[in-house]
């Protein structure tokens, strides 16, 4: 299957970066290279673009798509480690970074990757297939209480405890091997009358939670955003697209703290903590009606940005 992914908020995200010819930019979630292609177009052969991704399929696709650009470099890795990855490339300062969080259309639509509840496939969910931990490992070996915590904290699943109990009961009889096995556990845990009222698939929160746990998407995010802001040259910009409230909450809170780091008591007449603003906020953008008509998967996307002071 070819690597196909419709870039969400393509023009607004690259507009937010305010790409300058001669600048150094990072696409921290390279994917199929859609955002990167637009950044390269605006660089017009000057400057440099570094793309980072942990999915080998994404790297292969983006190199095929963008390899003719001499100012493009694709690197395997996680944007959480951007500072170290850029240091290895001799890059100390950048003019902008773009992050498109979450799972790609290609990963969802490639059944054997195990991200989707719509197709029966091995229960995997790894973005980097070189890593050991899979969703199968979690549901078959983690304690019931820890599975419930993951479903509650990462999926905001109100039936987390019940689903975790059904999972542990199922694996006591036979291991949970496929996405269909997991969907069956969710269906057994959530009453039919509740599932019938659900606006989406009843397993979507469970799959989201396990994907986040497998790929460690949330815990390092705050520190990664802080590192990205530290890498920016004055006037450099950071643009982040999130797809669910857990991601967006971290992005929003981190940006606000960078913009207003003061920890003085609210009634203190003047700041005495000495903490200075690192960035100014650039606001937020949602997909317009035209984009939603083209790509319904963009409906939950939200773009936020900030600029280094």
pLDDT tens for 153-194 read 999 999 999 999 999 999 999 999 999 999 999 999 999 999
Please check the confidence at residue 3 and state whether its pLDDT lies above 70: no
Q: Give residue limits of the domains in the chain.
A: 10-102+218-308, 112-215
Give the pLDDT band (50/70/90) at residue 198.
confident
Q: What tens digit of pLDDT does each residue of 37-66 get?
A: 999 999 999 999 999 999 999 999 999 999
Domain 112-215 has CATH 3.40.50.720: no
Q: Rounded mean pLDDT of 214-219?
A: 97
pLDDT of residue 281: 98
Rounded Cα–Cα distance for residues 71 and 119 (Å): 39
* Chain segment 50-109, per-residue pLDDT in tens: 999 999 999 999 999 999 999 999 999 999 999 999 999 999 999 999 999 989 888 999
Q: In what order do the strands lie in the sheet with 302-308?
A: 72-76, 48-53, 24-27, 94-100, 232-242, 302-308, 279-285
10-102+218-308 has CATH 3.30.365.10 classification:
no
Q: What is the mean pLDDT of the chain?
A: 96
CB-CB neighbours of 45 under 10 Å: 10
CB contact at 8 A, 116 and 108: yes
Reported as a single tens digit per residue, the pLDDT across 227-269 is 999 999 999 999 999 999 999 999 999 999 999 999 999 888 8
């Amino acid at each position: 299957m070819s690597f196909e992914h419709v870039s969400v908020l393509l023009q607004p995200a690259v507009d937010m970066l305010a790409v300058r010819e001669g600048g150094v930019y990072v696409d921290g979630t390279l994917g199929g290279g859609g955002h990167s292609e637009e950044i390269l177009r605006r660089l017009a052969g000057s400057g440099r673009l570094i793309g980072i991704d942990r999915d080998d399929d994404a790297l292969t696709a983006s190199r095929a798509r963008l390899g003719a650009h001499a100012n493009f470099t694709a690197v395997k890795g996680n944007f959480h480690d951007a500072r170290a990855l850029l240091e290895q490339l001799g890059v100390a300062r950048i003019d902008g970074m773009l992050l498109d969080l979450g799972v790609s259309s290609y990963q969802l639509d490639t059944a054997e990757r195990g991200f989707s509840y719509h197709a029966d496939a091995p229960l995997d969910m790894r973005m980097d297939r070189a890593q050991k931990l899979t969703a199968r490992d979690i549901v078959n070996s983690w304690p019931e209480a820890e599975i419930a915590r993951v479903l509650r904290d990462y999926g905001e699943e109100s039936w987390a405890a019940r689903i975790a109990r059904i999972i542990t009961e199922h694996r006591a009889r036979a291991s949970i091997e496929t996405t269909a096995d997991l969907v069956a556990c969710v269906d057994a845990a959530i009453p039919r009358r509740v599932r019938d009222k659900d606006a989406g698939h009843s397993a979507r929160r469970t799959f989201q939670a396990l994907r986040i746990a497998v790929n460690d998407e949330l815990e390092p995010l705050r520190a990664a955003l802080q590192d990205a802001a530290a890498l920016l040259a004055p006037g450099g910009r950071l643009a982040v697209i999130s797809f669910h409230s857990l991601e967006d909450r971290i992005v929003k809170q981190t940006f606000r703290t960078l913009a207003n780091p003061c920890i003085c008591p609210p009634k203190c007449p003047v700041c005495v903590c000495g903490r200075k603003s690192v960035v100014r906020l650039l606001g937020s953008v949602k997909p317009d009606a035209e984009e939603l008509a083209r790509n319904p998967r963009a409906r939950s996307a939200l773009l936020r940005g900030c600029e280094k002071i």
